[in-house]
Chains A and B, each alone.
Chain A
Amino acid sequence: MDFEIPENLRMITDTVRRLVQRELEPISRQVEEQDHIPESVVQTMRELGLFGLSIPEAYGGLGLSTLGECLVYEELAKVNACFRNRIATNNGIGSQGLVLDGTEQQKQRYLPRLASGQWIGCFALSEPGAGSDAAGVQTTAVMEGDHWVLNGRKHFITNGDIADLATVFAVTDRQKRAKGGITAFLVERSFAGYQVGTIEKKMGHRGSHTSELIFDNCRVPAENVLGGPSMVGRGFQSAMKTLDKGRLTIGAAALGAAQRLLELSLDYAKQRVQFGRPIAEFQSIKNMLADMATEIYAARQMLHHAAWLRDQKGTAVIKEASMVKLFCTNMAGRVADMAVQIHGGMGYMQEYPVERFYRDLRLTRIYEGTDEIQRLVIARELLKE
């Protein structure tokens, strides 16, 4: 048994912590108000290598372990969710399909651009009629000569407005649907018929956008089927594999935010004086602090173990990943609720970061698989065993 985080991963988290303290924390309020991350900061993030965490070294990335990637997200999430979102699609759902299933040619064309942050990738699965029931996508792709022609509308696409490359899921065989009828396409922004639709107005995650993507007779070369022509009809399986790691990384983001909320709450409880003493001396406040710390501790062990397990096995950890996402995000929700309570009126004010965390964290229980889907997956795996 060795719970020690390896030295190079500790160094990486130190660098990210420094970035957070020196460059990101000071502009977090501004980013929230302007709903925009300054380009100079994005450039610093590129130079540090943050866009290529999970992309293999052979394609210009860092080839970091799952644990390493999770540790980076824990640190980044301590400041403001939008910074992780900016790099998360390139490291996760916007590139993992390529890493797992891409042809050599596709990997060479796209991965180095995503790893450097020169291009932004996104994952276009969700549609108005296909959320948790991802197999219900309506976007179609029809072969015309040496091109596929895509028609349909995606929504809630993280980084959709700034993406240069979208992994788009479309129906190629209406009868087969999830069982051989959905195909993943690599669609470049410059392809004719590709259009960014409305940027959606959200509860939180300001500074990071989700948008519609509209495909209006969008022409995609036949070689841009993810994984090549043999992968036609196998897009749904590819999507599910891609989402597996994402569950751990969202757990990490929730954990980082919860840790920050505990730190803010401890500081506030020690300073805030009511009835002649710091509120940290009241048992009701102490109970909340103790519960927050205990839950965070449990979540961290769980996440780190699952990430380690995935790195050891080199394969999906389906049940554990769902458990981590379910527990970490719900835990962070409870911690955020207590943090607001400890901060009282200040916890409800926008001049303090607590209310932002409270809003931002709510999404973690929804995107990349709702609580309900996680429970479904866990139970399905349990009953299989």
Chain B
Amino acid sequence: MNIVVCIKQVPDTETQIKIASDGKSIETDDIKWVMNPYDEFGVEEALVLQKEKGAEVTVVGAGPQRVTEALRTALAMGADKAVLIEDDDFYGADPITVAKVLAKAIEPLNPDIIFFGQRAVDDDSGVVGSAVAEFLDMPQLSVVTKVEVGDGTVQAHRPVEGATLVLESTLPCVITAQKGLNEPRYASLPGIMKAKKKPLEVISLADLGVERDDKLEIVALNPPPERAPGKQVEGETGQEIAINLVKLLREEAKVI
């Protein structure tokens, strides 16, 4: 069984994001880059299947050289090999372009399951997994919190408002992972040392024979509005403060 996990490298969720001077990208100089947290669920699920079914797990990423770090993290967690589609100008590309490129790189790997995070926490587009399924003509089980692989089939759970959808599909298929699917393991220290020796293949867009043909363009990035400063409720006694608080909630905030 072959499993592919697609990985995006995104700014650490604790990073302070600054908008670059062009007004449509972010300052990348002081950013700490990490594996997209939703992709970690995909890696973990693949590693469970690696153990249970003897599956071979390949992780695939695209972008500048720094993306190797996210791939190596997956190798350190236990993935078997990695493919980097190296392109310095790939971060922020049209998701459909990304999907086209990934599909080309994945196809020869002959996967039974392709895992994605259900979206990336940086641009939140949530498109790439679906588009890859389309390009490879595979069924897609999106936003799932449980995966059970049978004989040539897979069953998955998707939580919906107040209920759970149980989906079933033949293999091969694309699965996008939602929080709750599992608890991703740490890259252990021995795993990190071993990851150095695992194969990491670097290919280019030219190798894949794909040309960029972005249709979508980010035209502007706007920061969220600044939060108004807090207000201290005044009063001499507890009772007085409570009365003033209620007054503010009713008259200014208009919530009661």
Closest residue of B by beta carbon distance from A53? B189
Cβ of A203 within 8 Å of any chain B Cβ, yes or no, is: no
Task: Specify which chain B residues have a CB less than 8 angstroms from the CB of A216 in the assembled complex.
Answer: none
Query: How many residue pairs between the two chains, A and B, have CB atoms under 8 Å in the bound complex?
Result: 43
Cβ of A15 within 8 Å of any chain B Cβ, yes or no, is: yes
Cβ-defined contact, A8 with B195, below 8 A: yes
Task: Specify which chain A residues have a CB less than 8 angstroms from the CB of B195 in the assembled complex.
Answer: 8, 11
Partner pick for B189 among A7, A10, A12, CB 8 A cutoff: A12
| Chain A interface, >50% SS class | helix
> How many of chain A's residues touch chain B, expressed as a range?
10 to 19
Q: How far is the CB of A5 from chain B (nearest CB, A)?
A: 12
Query: Of the 9-residue stretches A42-50, A122-130, A327-335, A347-355, which lies at the interface with chain B?
Result: A42-50
Closest residue of A by beta carbon distance from B12? A14
Task: Specify which chain A residues have a CB less than 8 angstroms from the CB of B73 in the assembled complex.
Answer: 11, 14
Task: Specify which chain A residues have a CB less than 8 angstroms from the CB of B72 in the assembled complex.
Answer: 7-8, 11
Cβ-defined contact, B69 with A11, below 8 A: yes
Cβ-defined contact, A49 with B186, below 8 A: no
Cβ of B31 within 8 Å of any chain A Cβ, yes or no, is: no
Closest residue of A by beta carbon distance from B76? A11
Cβ of A27 within 8 Å of any chain B Cβ, yes or no, is: no
Cβ of A62 within 8 Å of any chain B Cβ, yes or no, is: yes
| Chain B interface, >50% SS class | helix
Known A-B contacts A8-B192, A8-B195, A8-B196; the reply to A15 vs B187 at CB < 8 A is: yes
| Residue interface bits B170-212, CB-to-A below 8 A is 1, else 0 | 0000000000000000111110110110000000000000000
Cβ of A285 within 8 Å of any chain B Cβ, yes or no, is: no
> How many of chain B's residues touch chain A, expressed as a range?
10 to 19
Cβ-defined contact, A19 with B186, below 8 A: yes
Task: Specify which chain A residues have a CB less than 8 angstroms from the CB of B188 in the assembled complex.
Answer: 15, 47-49
8 Å CB contacts to A: which residues of B71-114? Answer: 72-73, 76
Partner pick for B69 among A7, A49, A50, A57, CB 8 A cutoff: A7
Q: How far is the CA of A11 from the CA of B72 in the complex (A)?
A: 9
Closest residue of B by beta carbon distance from A49? B189
Cβ of A18 within 8 Å of any chain B Cβ, yes or no, is: yes
Q: How far is the CA of A48 from the CA of B189 in the complex (A)?
A: 6
Cβ-defined contact, A11 with B187, below 8 A: yes
Closest residue of A by beta carbon distance from B75? A11
Task: Specify which chain B residues have a CB less than 8 angstroms from the CB of A11 in the assembled complex.
Answer: 69, 72-73, 76, 187, 192, 195
Task: Using CB atoms and an 8 Å cutoff, list the residues of chain A in contact with chain B.
Answer: 7-8, 10-12, 14-15, 18-19, 47-50, 53, 57, 62-64
